[in-house]
Amino acid sequence: MNDQAASAFPYHLEREGLLMQPDPLDPREAEGVLNPAAGWSGNQLYLLPRLVAAGNISRIGLSRVELDGGRPVGVTRLGVVLEPRMTWESGPLNAGVEDPRVTWIPALQLHVMTYVAYGPTGPRTAIATSADLVAWQRQGPVTYRWDAASEVDLNLYHNKDAVFLPEPVTAPDGQLSFAVMHRPMGVLNPDTSISDLPGDIPPTGEAGHQSMWMSFVPVAAATADPSELAHWRGHRFVAGPEYAWEELKIGGGPPPIRVPEGWLLLHHGVTGRIERGTDQQQHVHYAAGGMILDAERPWLIVNRSAEPLLEAETEAERSGTVPNVVFPTAIVEIDGNHFVFYGMADSNIGVARLVRS
């Protein structure tokens, strides 16, 4: 990958400004609005932000994005579309539906949401679907089919940062499938063994260098029953931390988009120090980068940004619930331009424009 990264990464991000801040009169937003999904339904552009109440209790809201000259400039709040009410979304230590990513999948004529359900055992990925981005149907928490090729039972691990590709691909097993990126927490990378770890650190948590994987859902199964979108198989390791700005861990961002080079995936990398047992970290730095995935085999990386495309520089990105964070989670096309929505210090939502270098 270092040889591939030696060629300049063909895209960069340019800030457009602050889009959404917490409403001081709404207790559901007391600890921030952040990490949204977004998408078009008809001629309306919607934002689905994570709303955080006191105690780090999260809901997924719905807002209409206001445009000015083809640029997102503000939002009108429309309510809440998901809140923690299922057994897998609420537990003794925390509760929440967090960090949604939404992919429009034309083959299903559905918006498919992946979100983090913070339940009794901690964070896990769950699925919901919608025809219009307004009314959502839960399809349940994700389960992982074990197979000998992957050599790991992903059901044993917490999982975050999941997002579907919008178009079917031919999976490694030859089946036409929907591909989904995700980030199991604590799984050792294929090139790491237990003997490589310090003697006092178990092969879980930060020691696993949290990395991005890809799994698959057969198109035939999901077409017959959308709940099959929550049953993943054929797991493949895609990428782990490689550069200094990704030292602690990496994870996926918005749904990948097709570009001439293949699939463009924006991702985040983390440096700093993680304090175990703490959800709202205070000593980490989140930056945004990019990868080009192979058009036909998206589990293979064609190019990768050696430096961040966006990092915390403005006051809104440096100061907040979790300082020094830019966290991209949504991308939309408006009049031929792609705009990226991202969390700012786990407190606000910003906008950047994707530009070809």
Q: Compute the distance between CA of residue 300 and CA of residue 241 in angstroms, rounded to an integer.
A: 15
Q: What is the pLDDT of residues 197-227, one digit of tens each?
A: 333 333 333 445 789 999 999 999 999 999 9
Alpha-carbon distances, residue 288 vs 180, 187, 192, 252, 329 (angstroms): 19, 22, 25, 10, 10
Cβ burial of 274 (10 Å; 0-12, 13-18, 19+) is middle
Residues 6+ apart with CB under 8 A from 293: 238, 256, 262, 263, 264, 265, 299, 300, 301, 302
Q: Of the ranges 27-36, 89-98, 101-110, 260-269, which one carries the lowest mean pLDDT score?
A: 89-98
| Percent of the chain clearing pLDDT 90 (strictly above) | 79
Number of domains in the chain: 1
Domain that residue 141 falls in: 2-356
pLDDT in the model for residue 190 = 62
**Confidence tier at 53 by pLDDT (50, 70, 90):** very high
Residue 315 has pLDDT above 60, yes or no: yes
Question: Does 300 score more than 50 pLDDT?
Answer: yes
Assign residue 259 the CATH number of its domain: 2.115.10.20
pLDDT at 79 over 90: yes
Least Cα distance to 165 among 182, 151, 146, 178 occurs for: 178
111: pLDDT strictly greater than 60: yes
